[in-house]
Homo-oligomer: A and B are copies of this chain.
Amino acid sequence: MIERFYQKKKNINLSDIIQLIKPNNILNNNNNNVLINNISNINDSEKNDITFFNNIKYKNDVKNTKALYCITKEKLSKYLPSNCTPLIVDNILLELSKITNLFYPNCIEDKFDHNLKNIEEIKIKKKIYFGKNVLIGDNVSFGENFSIGNNSIIESGVMIGDNVSIGSNVILRKCLVGNNVSILDGTVVGKKGFGFFPDRNKNHKYPHIGLVIIEDNVEIGCNNIIDRGSLSNTVIGKNTFIDNLVHIAHNVKLGKNCIIAGQVGFAGSTKIGDNVMIGGQAGISGHLKIGNNVKIGGGSGVIDDLPDNSNVMGYPSTNIRNFLKNNE
């Protein structure tokens, strides 16, 4: 699916990668003129790929990687299998970012889509209801009974299911939209995330080659921002409803049947279970795992994982009974 949205370069010479990331170790001559086909994670790598290994918790996975090369650091390099040559660097994620950008150019800045046309100028076989000044990119696919309001933009590659209703002033970019989905006015879906390596002269932004996947029966309110993933996808699960002015950062995964009230914020890479209810203005920190059937009170600040069936409130959030007792 990624090829639908991102043009990938193929067969980049290893020497170009070496020059870009300047590894600390010296490779022997056998590596001259090797062509690399892709950058990929440990488990998905094919033989001509380069991968990365930055956390010892993946040491068992890395044993089976098919990748020819792996960006890693000195003390992790001993876990690599013999078919995989380490490229030792100081900042794995920074170098990963540079290589990703080499394979997938144009994923760092969200320049506007140059291929947009007014919907009146393109041929669509299906019946579509559209407002004024609707712009559509290349290779957008539509389901039955599609409706889209004024000044809305669907950028190239986006796929839309059946019975989808889009409001006015909406932007859809790098996303797949399921059936029976409503996305209301002023919302931006699929913007690149807020990801970069801080540098006091000029921050290094990293590429975002993920998508936003919106499953069936979802409703998304007004003026929300849902960023696409960097290497994985941002996901809004089936039958999840989201109110207004909500911020969903890159790589967040919301489960099914969630209810997300106004002005809630999710920091990057957090995973929310099914049937989770979150009150207005609550904030969920990044890289957390929130279980199923969790209730998070309005205004709460969640900074730790929460098991299934938790019912919390407060900042930092705590069991709601304790919270209310402490604040009687």
Contacts and interface: CB of A to CB of B under 8 A. Distances in A.
Interface stretch (A71-79, A84-92, A131-139): A131-139
A194 B135 contact: no
Given A150-B153, A222-B191, A259-B198, A110 B167 contact: yes
Please give me the 3 A-B residue pairs with the lowest Cβ-Cβ distance, nearest first.
A112-B149, A299-B301, A247-B262
Interface string A160-173: 00000101110100
Nearest to A132: B135
Nearest to A152: B112
A168 B112 contact: yes
Contacts of A217: 201-203
A184 B180 contact: no
Nearest to A225: B244
Contacts of A219: 196, 203, 205
A129 B316 CA distance: 46
Interface in A223-276: 223, 225, 227, 239, 241, 243-245, 247, 249, 256-257, 259, 261-263, 265, 267, 275
A283 B118 CA distance: 41
Contacts of A227: 244
A185 B191 contact: yes
A151 interface: yes
A108 to B, nearest CB: 10
Q: How large is the interface on A (under 10, 10 to 19, 20 to 34, 35 or more residues)?
A: 35 or more
Interface of A: 109-112, 114, 116, 118, 129, 131-133, 135, 147-151, 153, 165, 167-169, 171, 180, 182, 184-186, 188, 191, 194, 196, 198-203, 205, 217, 219, 221-223, 225, 227, 239, 241, 243-245, 247, 249, 256-257, 259, 261-263, 265, 267, 275, 279-281, 283, 285, 298-299, 301, 303, 314-316, 318, 327
> What's the dominant secondary structure at chain A's contact region?
loop
A303 B168 CA distance: 34
A239 B203 contact: yes
7 contacts: A132-B133, A153-B168, A168-B171, A200-B275, A203-B217, A263-B283, A316-B327
A294 to B, nearest CB: 15
A257 to B, nearest CB: 5
